[in-house]
A and B are shown apart, each in its own frame.
Chain A
């Protein structure tokens, strides 16, 4: 057999495999864009992602910058200090489109530099929660009413007893206040819902005739769960991923507000905590409002995307 025809046919078979997939992705994209909410969510996410990846490009300064003194290592005059937090200024005496906080840092700058933190926590917690919850849900559902299922569900029941915020507080207090622990804490409590709902879906899906058909064809349990059932629970899993990510961001913001946050990181939650701790809530709306909106926007973005993705990945709806 000539190598050329082998290569040729391999190329052809690759093309045969990928063409329909690409076509399907295109169709999925078209479906996705029909949902305005999903597009909006995606826009938000892209903006925040860009902020996270290239903060210097979007922010007017860096977090080290301070009003009046810039990057110098000098001190501000008393009068300058008294003018902080400063409302939005566009060039005179400095450039801070959203004003500054009480320490003289630019709000907009802080906003941009904190985006990566929020994204990281959201995605990490969401993914971790799904990576634990979905497989356990699948296994639990597939082996429904056997000891495997019973064991997993008892664990879930016990863990349900853990109240969310107090648990987080304790965990963070014991292990230290850093982002990893916060992510861990959030994931530990949010995988439960994931697991239960996926389990329910699996229980019903495994009665379907196509699962029987795969069994009759000789498929192993693993194959059935991951090749046949899992793709059908994906729509649901996406929704959960989105919800968990949003919840994680909100949780972290709450924690920061309560004072349980990694203060070395820049985050929107900390910005809020600061304004409350330093007593400027009613005095500096330019400081108060932007972080709140940012948190809401990113949580909403995840939600919107989640719902749109569910629609796209659900082959029944067209």
Chain B
């Protein structure tokens, strides 16, 4: 199914920043712009005849990426090539060509059709804009033909309807017809079925697959619904906070995900089989604010397999929690009063226990961590003596209210390469992934101290 066609779309180190410019007041006040890195240094290739899927949660940049490919946005850095030509650098004629060869289907079928234009007018619009078709008659015939191709047959009665008279599935088909009437080569589909009823989705998806054969199309399929991606796409890219974290043939990505985030995503997808064993994602927290992404690997604060330094002797679980402890102390997030309120026994113990606890689904938490107690017995973790001492000292400082000292205690401890260095895309099997867990191949730069495999 995955063609080895020629590359049709090539992105090289593409970034898109929003909010990089400032108003006059901000400039006067000397404030630094804090742009959102919606798409950050993404490199991607889409081959002819492929259906490439982009999946990720909200804020990951997939919609922005889609819009970059149809030139609704211009990239801030990097180049996008369509059929070998840089699309930011087109002559008028070339741009006109581009607009005929690249089209887009939007998420909301009601919004994507102009409410004051009939179906006929909406679908004919691209023909008129691009001056295609020999005469009114000719254009009308083409409109009817493409409407029948998308399943609205006979087309006659649909021509004079307004969007509000159509159902969601019909509207989306009209939108598809409008995209296809100029005979494009590449179509970006942004969540094309997420606003349709479940029983209608299959019809539209199957239609898209059929049309791919008939019109010789290449698709970019953007969705947050992983099961749809699994169904439709030959290749899949997973994005997180503007980064590409994993990329490869869909079957491989689904069955053997390499990146911890991808694993978490697929664990979280609910299963229809009621007797299936239920796995929950082993992930803490939520997607952070894209204006202030974490340093290094963007996913590291939530990751269960965060890489401990080489000299770490305890368990992975222990490191993860110690790392989180440090993070919370540094951010000032550790609520000492609550900890003292809730627990009995030594204050230092209480603070320690609370600081080491993580908010995880039951199957991944340690006893006592969930519901209510929010604390973990440090001895249940596999901590080395040194480590425990450092943590205790820090906890003591916190109890006495010396946040600054607590931070100093922990300074230099629990360092992870995941925090310090942003992982480049590297190959792991059939996939490309951005994770330090997979060593970079030979001649590439040696991983900094602390990387493990």
| Same complex | yes
**A residues in contact (CB < 8 Å) with B:** 9, 13, 16-17, 20, 23, 208-210, 212-220, 223, 227-228, 231-232, 315-316, 318
Task: Give the shortest distance, in Å, between B92 (CB) and chain A (any CB).
Answer: 11
Instruction: Judge whether B125 and A216 touch: CB under 8 Å.
Output: no
Determine which of B116, B125, B130 lies in contact with A315 in the assembled complex, contact meaning CB atoms within 8 Å: B116
Provide the bound-state CA to CA distance between A267 and B126, in Å: 52
Chain A hits for B122, CB < 8 A:
210
Q: Which of B326-356 contact A (CB under 8 A)?
A: none
Determine which of A20, A218, A228, A316 lies in contact with B99 in the assembled complex, contact meaning CB atoms within 8 Å: A218
Instruction: Judge whether B116 and A213 touch: CB under 8 Å.
Output: no
Stretch from B11-19, B35-43, B102-110, B407-415 contacting the other chain = B102-110
Chain A hits for B178, CB < 8 A:
213, 217
Known A-B contacts A215-B72, A219-B129; the reply to A228 vs B114 at CB < 8 A is yes
The residue of chain B having its C-beta at the shortest distance from the C-beta of A145 within the complex is B23
> Is B313 part of the contact surface with A, judged by Cβ < 8 Å?
no
Instruction: Judge whether B107 and A209 touch: CB under 8 Å.
Output: yes
Provide the bound-state CA to CA distance between A213 and B104, in Å: 7
Task: Give the shortest distance, in Å, between B324 (CB) and chain A (any CB).
Answer: 40
Instruction: Judge whether B164 and A318 touch: CB under 8 Å.
Output: yes
Provide the bound-state CA to CA distance between A315 and B125, in Å: 19
Task: Give the shortest distance, in Å, between B337 (CB) and chain A (any CB).
Answer: 46
Provide the bound-state CA to CA distance between A217 and B112, in Å: 13
Chain B hits for A20, CB < 8 A:
118, 159-160
Determine which of A16, A215, A227 lies in contact with B140 in the assembled complex, contact meaning CB atoms within 8 Å: A16
Known contacts A213-B175, A218-B130, A219-B129, then 8 further A-B pairs from the complex at CB < 8 Å, ordered by chain A residue: A17-B136, A212-B67, A212-B106, A212-B112, A217-B178, A218-B96, A218-B126, A231-B116
Provide the bound-state CA to CA distance between A17 and B71, in Å: 34
Instruction: Judge whether B162 and A315 touch: CB under 8 Å.
Output: yes
The residue of chain B having its C-beta at the shortest distance from the C-beta of A230 within the complex is B116
Chain B hits for A219, CB < 8 A:
125, 129
Instruction: Judge whether A232 and B116 touch: CB under 8 Å.
Output: yes
Instruction: Judge whether A217 and B115 touch: CB under 8 Å.
Output: no
Determine which of B107, B125, B140 lies in contact with A217 in the assembled complex, contact meaning CB atoms within 8 Å: B125
Chain A hits for B96, CB < 8 A:
218
- Top 4 A-B pairs ranked by shortest CB distance? A218-B99, A217-B126, A209-B112, A209-B111
Chain B hits for A208, CB < 8 A:
111
Interface string of B162-180 (1 = CB under 8 A from A): 1010000000000100100
The residue of chain B having its C-beta at the shortest distance from the C-beta of A24 within the complex is B160
Provide the bound-state CA to CA distance between A9 and B137, in Å: 8
Provide the bound-state CA to CA distance between A20 and B140, in Å: 14
Chain B hits for A9, CB < 8 A:
137
> Is B376 part of the contact surface with A, judged by Cβ < 8 Å?
no
Q: Which of B109-148 contact A (CB under 8 A)?
A: 111-118, 122, 125-126, 129-130, 136-137, 140
Chain B hits for A217, CB < 8 A:
99, 103, 125-126, 129-130, 178, 182
- A contacts with B: majority SS: helix
Q: Which of B381-420 contact A (CB under 8 A)?
A: none
> Is B70 part of the contact surface with A, judged by Cβ < 8 Å?
yes
Chain B hits for A231, CB < 8 A:
114, 116-117
Chain B hits for A232, CB < 8 A:
114-116
Instruction: Judge whether A316 and B164 touch: CB under 8 Å.
Output: yes
Determine which of B100, B112, B116, B159 lies in contact with A218 in the assembled complex, contact meaning CB atoms within 8 Å: B100
Chain A hits for B112, CB < 8 A:
209-210, 212-213
Provide the bound-state CA to CA distance between A16 and B124, in Å: 15
Provide the bound-state CA to CA distance between A210 and B115, in Å: 9
Determine which of A13, A23, A227 lies in contact with B137 in the assembled complex, contact meaning CB atoms within 8 Å: A13
Interface string of B63-89 (1 = CB under 8 A from A): 000010011100000000000000000
Provide the bound-state CA to CA distance between A68 and B433, in Å: 104
Determine which of A13, A218, A228, A315 lies in contact with B136 in the assembled complex, contact meaning CB atoms within 8 Å: A13
Determine which of A13, A218, A318 lies in contact with B129 in the assembled complex, contact meaning CB atoms within 8 Å: A218
Task: Give the shortest distance, in Å, between A150 (CB) and chain B (any CB).
Answer: 11
Chain B hits for A228, CB < 8 A:
114, 117
Chain B hits for A212, CB < 8 A:
67, 72, 104, 106, 112
Chain A hits for B113, CB < 8 A:
210
Chain B hits for A218, CB < 8 A:
95-96, 99-100, 126, 129-130
Task: Give the shortest distance, in Å, between B21 (CB) and chain A (any CB).
Answer: 10
Chain B hits for A316, CB < 8 A:
115, 164
Residue from the set A212, A214, A218, A219 with the largest chain B CB neighbour count within 10 Å: A218
The residue of chain A having its C-beta at the shortest distance from the C-beta of B104 within the complex is A216
Chain B hits for A220, CB < 8 A:
129
The residue of chain A having its C-beta at the shortest distance from the C-beta of B114 within the complex is A210
Instruction: Judge whether B111 and A210 touch: CB under 8 Å.
Output: yes
Chain A hits for B103, CB < 8 A:
216-217
Interface CB pairs A-B, < 8 A, 30: A9-B137, A13-B136, A13-B140, A20-B159, A23-B160, A209-B111, A209-B112, A210-B111, A212-B72, A212-B112, A213-B106, A214-B129, A215-B72, A216-B72, A217-B103, A217-B126, A217-B129, A217-B130, A217-B182, A218-B95, A218-B96, A218-B130, A219-B129, A227-B125, A231-B114, A231-B117, A232-B116, A315-B162, A315-B164, A318-B164
Chain A hits for B159, CB < 8 A:
20
Provide the bound-state CA to CA distance between A231 and B114, in Å: 10
Residue from the set A17, A23, A315 with the largest chain B CB neighbour count within 10 Å: A315
Interface string of B231-268 (1 = CB under 8 A from A): 00000000000000000000000000000000000000
Determine which of B100, B108, B117, B140 lies in contact with A209 in the assembled complex, contact meaning CB atoms within 8 Å: B108
Interface string of B152-166 (1 = CB under 8 A from A): 000000011010100
The residue of chain B having its C-beta at the shortest distance from the C-beta of A229 within the complex is B114
